[in-house]
A and B are shown apart, each in its own frame.
Chain A
Amino acid sequence: MYKILKKTQFSEKVFEFRVHAPRMAKHAHAGQFLMVRINETGERVPFTFANWNSEEGWIEFIFMVVGKTTECLSKLNEGDEIQDITGPLGCPTEIDGDRVVILGGGVGLAIAYPVARTMCEAGKKVSVIMGARTKDLLILTEQFEALPLENLFITTDDGSMGEKGVVTAPLERLCQAGEVDSAFAVGPVPMMKFSALTCQKYNVPIVASLNPIMVDGTGMCGCCRVEVGGKTKFACVDGPDFDATQVDWDDLAKRQATYRTEEAASMKHYEEECACQQK
C-alpha cells in the first residue's frame, strides 16, 4: 500500500499526488515512470515521475483525467492508499547540448514539466513550447511560468490562448534563428511527428517520449513495442525516450487506439456502478 501524503489540484482535470515511497524516491530520475494499480480490480497505468525527495521519502506524479483509471484516481484524497506502485521504470531522459527546447502537447505537458524543471536545475537554457487544442486543455501553465525559462510559447489550435496554430511554428522560428542545440517532445503522435520533421530539417537532434499502451512495464509482455529505425523496441525498457526522427509514428498511433471501444465501455461501466465512485 502506498499512502497519498498530499493531493494538489492544478485545474479541473489535472492533479498531483505525493506518495510515500522511500526506496523509489532514492532511485527516481527525470524521464522515468512508475506504474499504478489503484486496487485489486485496477488496470496498470504508467505515469512519469514529476518530483521526488529521497530525504523525506516521497515521489510525486501529475496526471490528467482522461478515462476510467485517471478518473478513479482523481477521487482519492490525502490519507488514502494506492494498492500498488511499481517503479522506477524506463531509462532516464538524456538531452545533450546547452540550449534545449521542450515541447509538450495536451496530457504530454504533465510529462514535459518535470523534464523542463530538471533541465533548468541542470543549468541549461530551456525554452518551452506548450500546445493544446484549446485553452481549457492547456495544463500546468502557471507551473511552467514559474520556471526560469529562456522562452515560453503557448499555442492553441483554435487561438483561444497564445498563438493560433501548432507547436511547430515557434519551433521552426527557434531553429531558424539557430538557437536550439536539441529538442524533447511529448504529446499526441501528430505533434511529435511534425516536431521531428521540423527538427530534422534544421539538423537539430530531437528525442520523443513515447506513450504506447503498457501492461507490465518490465519488458515481459511486448505490448509497448514501437518501431524505431526499423527495429522493434520496448518503450518500457529501451525507452520511453527515442530518437524522434526514427520512430514509425503511424504504427504507434494505431497501437495506441487498440482499446478505444473498451476504454469507453470501461468509463461507462464506472459511471454506472463503480464502488469508488460513490466514495
Chain B
Amino acid sequence: MPAEVTGAAANAGTEPKKYRPSRGPRVAPNEEPAAERARDFRPVDTGFTKADAIAEANRCLDCKKPLCMEGCPVGVHIPQFIEKIREEDWAGALETIKQDNLLPSVCGRVCPQEDQCEGKCILGRKGEPVAIGQLERMLGDMADEVGKAPEVKPKNGKKVAIVGSGPSGIACAGELAREGFDVTVFEAFFTGGGVLTYGIPEFRLPKTIVKREIDSLEQLGVHFEYNSVAGRLFTAEELFDEDGFDALYLAVGAGLPRFLNVPGENLPGVYCANEFLTRTNLMKAYDFPEYDTPIKHGKQVVVFGGGNVAMDAARTALRLGADKVTLAYRRTEAEMPARKAEIHHAKEEGIEFLELVAPIEFTAGEDGFVNAIHLQKMELGEPDDSGRRRPVPIEGETIEIPCDIAITAIGTNANPFAGPASGVEPNKWGYIDTDDNGRTSNPRVWAGGDIVTGAATVILAMGAGKKAAASIKETLLAE
C-alpha cells in the first residue's frame, strides 16, 4: 500500500499539506499458520514490514488529545512516534519511544495493549484501534539497524547495586549507566532477564531479544554478576560497608508460586506453571537429552488458571507434543486476566477452554502418576471486591477429566529474599513498601517491579525501574 505523502519533511519549502489519515483496515501481523506453529517454538507471527508499518501509521488520526497516551502506563508519545513512521524516520521514531520505554521490542510484544494504549485509542470506539504494539515492537527490533548509541555521561564516581535482572532491574541499570553511574547487577540465575527469560516462552518473546537488551547494557558498562543470590551470598550491609555501593535497587520480582491446597497436588505429573516453564525456557528441557534437564511430555494436559502464565503453560505443553490441552478456569473467558491476543492465539492453536470449574482433587493411576483431575462446577454469583462476579460452586456437580500432566497457574507471592537482600523489612504480605519514587524506609535502598506491586506487568516493572533511577540520581548527586 503506497503511503500518502504526509508530514512536514515531505513538503519542505511549501505550505505543509494537511495530513489525511487512511481509512484502511488494521494491518494484520503476518501470523504463522496456527496448526504448524503450535508444534514448535517459532514466533507466533513475523510482525510488521516497513510497508505494513507505514500503512498502519497512516490510520492514526494524530489526535490533538491522544487518548492512547493516557492508556500507556509510562506515557509513550504515541502520535509523535507514529508520525515519524509516516515520515520514514525510523531512527527518530525509535528515539521517541525510548524516551519513555526502554524496552520497545519487549513491551510491543507483551503489553496488554487492549487494556492500555490500544484500549483507549479513539479508533477503537467504532472500529479497530491502531496496532500500537506491533509498531512499537517493529521499531524496537530495528535497533541494530537504526538505533543510535546512547550518550553516556562521564563517570560520576557513584556505585549502585541492582538486585535482580528482570525488566525492572534492567531499566534501572540502563538509566543509571547512561548517567555515569557505576552499576552492578546481581542475578540469582546464570543468565539475565528474569521472567522474560525463564517465564515468557520463546514463541512469544524470542530470547535473542532479551539477550540483545542485556548485551547493550554490558556495552554501556553495566557489570553483571550471575549466580549471586542476594541475601544469601552477601547482605545489603556488606554491599554498602565493604563493597562501597552508595545505593541499592531491589527488583527481585514476585515469583514464589501459590498452590491450590487440594488433595493430590503433589503427585508426580502435577506441575506448577513456574516449574514447567522454567524447565522448558531456562533449562531447555524440550531438547532433552541433549540438554540434561528432563520434563514430562503429556499427551492429555490440563492447565488450571486464566492469566498469561496459564496460557503460556498450555501452549508450551502443546508444543511439547500434547494431543489435547484443556485450559480450566473458575470464572468465564470474559474474566480471564490474560492478554486478549494470547487467548485468541491459544484457541486458534486448538487449546480447549473449560469455564466455571474449580479443581477439587488430583488422583493417580497405578504407576503413581496423576491420571485425572476432579473439578467442581461453578456459576457466577455476586461481584466481589474487584468488581468481577465471584464463582460459587454448584452443589453436587463435579466432573473428572483424564490427564497425564496437570499444571497449576494460580498466581504467585513475594520473593522470599526481599528482606535479607535489601535489609528492609517487608510488609506483612512479604512485599516491600515504597513511596512514588521507589524509596523504601532505608535511605540507601529503593525497590520496584513485582516485589512492590505484586505480580503485574513488564511495562510497570520497567517504569518503576526508570523512576527509581531518577530518584537515585537526584539523591546521590546531591550528596
Contacts and interface: CB of A to CB of B under 8 A. Distances in A.
B293 interface: yes
Contacts of A259: 294
Interface in A228-279: 232, 234, 237, 251, 254-255, 257-259, 262-263, 265-266, 269-270
A87 B266 CA distance: 26
A220 B199 CA distance: 11
A87 B274 CA distance: 21
Interface residues of A, number: 43
A225 interface: yes
**What secondary structure prevails in chain A residues at the interface with B?**
mixed
Contact of B368 (A69, A89, A257): A257
Which of A68, A84, A220 has the most chain B CB within a 10 Å cutoff?
A220
Interface stretch (B14-22, B256-264, B464-472): B256-264
A269 B259 CA distance: 35
B272 A221 contact: yes
**What secondary structure prevails in chain B residues at the interface with A?**
loop
A215 B275 contact: yes
Contacts of A263: 294
A258 B269 contact: yes
A85 to B, nearest CB: 6
B227 A86 contact: yes
B301 to A, nearest CB: 16
B267 interface: yes
Interface string B276-302: 001100011000111111101000000
A265 B259 CA distance: 31
Contacts of A96: none
B292 A69 contact: yes
B354 interface: no
Interface in B190-240: 190, 198, 226-229, 232-234
A265 B289 contact: yes
Given A215-B278, A218-B417, A259-B294, A266 B229 contact: no
A216 interface: yes
B268 A218 contact: no
Given A24-B233, A219-B256, A221-B278, A44 B293 contact: yes
Nearest to A69: B292
A23 B234 contact: yes
A42 B275 contact: no
B292 A41 contact: yes
A227 B80 CA distance: 56
B278 A220 contact: yes
A37 B190 contact: yes
A84 B190 CA distance: 7
Interface of B: 188-190, 198, 226-229, 232-234, 255-257, 259, 261, 265-269, 272, 274-275, 278-279, 283-284, 288-294, 296, 368, 415-417
Given A215-B275, A219-B256, A254-B266, 11 more contacts: A23-B228, A37-B190, A43-B291, A44-B283, A84-B226, A86-B228, A86-B229, A218-B229, A218-B416, A218-B417, A255-B266
